[in-house]
């Protein structure tokens, strides 16, 4: 993840060098060489994703690809804020690092589970969760697409909801490889710590509209952004709503920045008329730069 842009661009190497100074470990080595079990740990995964996606954004910008607005899914919202100038690369990385450490420890202190329900309408998933609420606090945690909702809760509750979803006609119910129930009320015990972290962070008015996970609307007020970042830990990611809001605001061309094409696939499910590009390495950057 990011090895080709690291090899090709001095500016990217500088970002990884700065990251090593801030984090106290060699992020480039872990990102490019692993070991895989280390990279899977939240405390390393989140900084790796942030630095890689931010580096790609700067390279796109330098090639003349200008964003009208930004949005990010979960952790990606922090990269979106950096892209929009709400904080600089270094400040954003420090916030990501603290968030990752908190979330890593939350899985040990407050274990939980998450699962993706595919092929079942949103309201049906909500009804299933409500139906077992008295026994298990399972809730929708990512509204990803019309036929894809992620749920979060205690392990037994998520397993029960998965079984109910399959019986109700879901095409698939996939357990996610996480150790905690992110974006759910089970994160309340660490929300206070996270909110305290955010009080120490300087947030500037963004220069681009940032469509926030919690509201699915663009937010520019720094204090509102601070509040919503804290709320994001315990409330669902409204990804489908965010894309629909962007479409309603006249945005129909999207570029997914980072490894993988998961978000591109979700946007296609939300609206097949969108133009969607993807940037994960030098070849993509050269193509997109040629279109600018």
CATH assignment of the domain containing 46? 3.40.366.10
- 222 & 239 share domain: yes
> Which of 124, 141, 175 marks a domain boundary?
175
In the annotation, is 73 catalytic? Answer: no
- 132 & 104 share domain: no
> Is residue 253 within 8 Å of residue 274, measured between CB atoms?
yes
pLDDT on residue 152: 98
pLDDT on residue 57: 97
Residues lower than pLDDT 50 in the chain: none
Pairing of strands 210-211, 70-71: parallel
Which one of 74, 179, 184, 242 is the catalytic residue? 74
The radius of gyration of the chain's CA atoms, rounded to the nearest angstrom, is 19
pTM metric for this prediction: 0.94
Q: How many residues does the chain have?
A: 292
Kind and range of the H or E run holding 173:
strand 172-175
Give residue-wise pLDDT tens across range 45-59.
999 999 999 999 999
- 192 & 274 share domain: yes
Which one of 73, 97, 183, 278 is the catalytic residue? 183
How far, CA to CA in Å, does 269 sit from each of 7, 70, 137, 264?
35, 19, 28, 9
d(CA 176, CA 255): 25
d(CA 203, CA 167): 46
Residue 22: which residues within 8 A CB-CB, separation 6 or more?
90, 93, 94, 97
- 281 & 139 share domain: no
In the annotation, is 278 catalytic? Answer: no
pLDDT on residue 110: 83
- 123 & 103 share domain: no
CATH number of the domain that residue 155 is part of: 3.30.70.250
pLDDT on residue 145: 98
């Amino acid at each position: 993840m990011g090895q080709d842009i690291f090899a090709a661009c001095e500016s990217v190497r500088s970002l990884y060098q700065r990251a090593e100074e801030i984090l106290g470990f060699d992020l480039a080595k872990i990102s490019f060489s692993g070991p895989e079990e280390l990279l899977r740990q939240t405390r390393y995964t989140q900084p790796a994703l942030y630095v890689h996606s931010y580096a790609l954004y700067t390279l796109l910008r330098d090639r003349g690809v200008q964003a009208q607005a930004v949005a990010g899914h979960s952790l990606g919202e922090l990269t979106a804020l950096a892209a929009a100038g709400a904080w600089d690369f270094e400040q954003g990385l420090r916030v990501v690092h603290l968030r990752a450490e908190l979330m890593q420890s939350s899985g040990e202190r407050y274990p939980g589970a998450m699962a993706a329900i595919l092929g079942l309408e949103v309201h049906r998933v909500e009804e299933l969760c409500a139906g077992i609420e008295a026994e298990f606090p399972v809730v929708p945690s990512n509204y990803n697409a019309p036929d894809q909702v992620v749920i979060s809760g205690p392990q037994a509750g998520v397993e029960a909801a998965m079984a109910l979803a399959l019986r109700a006609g879901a095409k698939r119910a996939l357990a996610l490889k996480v150790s905690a129930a992110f974006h759910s009320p089970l994160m309340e015990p660490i929300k206070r710590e996270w909110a305290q972290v955010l009080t120490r962070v300087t947030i500037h008015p963004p220069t681009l509209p940032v469509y926030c996970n919690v509201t699915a609307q663009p937010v520019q007020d720094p204090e509102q952004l601070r509040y919503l970042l804290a709320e994001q830990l315990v409330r669902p990611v409204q990804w489908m709503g965010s894309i629909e809001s962007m479409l309603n605001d006249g945005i129909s061309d999207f570029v997914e920045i980072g490894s993988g094409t998961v978000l591109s696939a979700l946007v296609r499910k939300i609206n097949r008329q969108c133009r969607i590009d993807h940037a994960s390495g030098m070849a993509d950057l050269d193509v997109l730069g040629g279109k600018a």
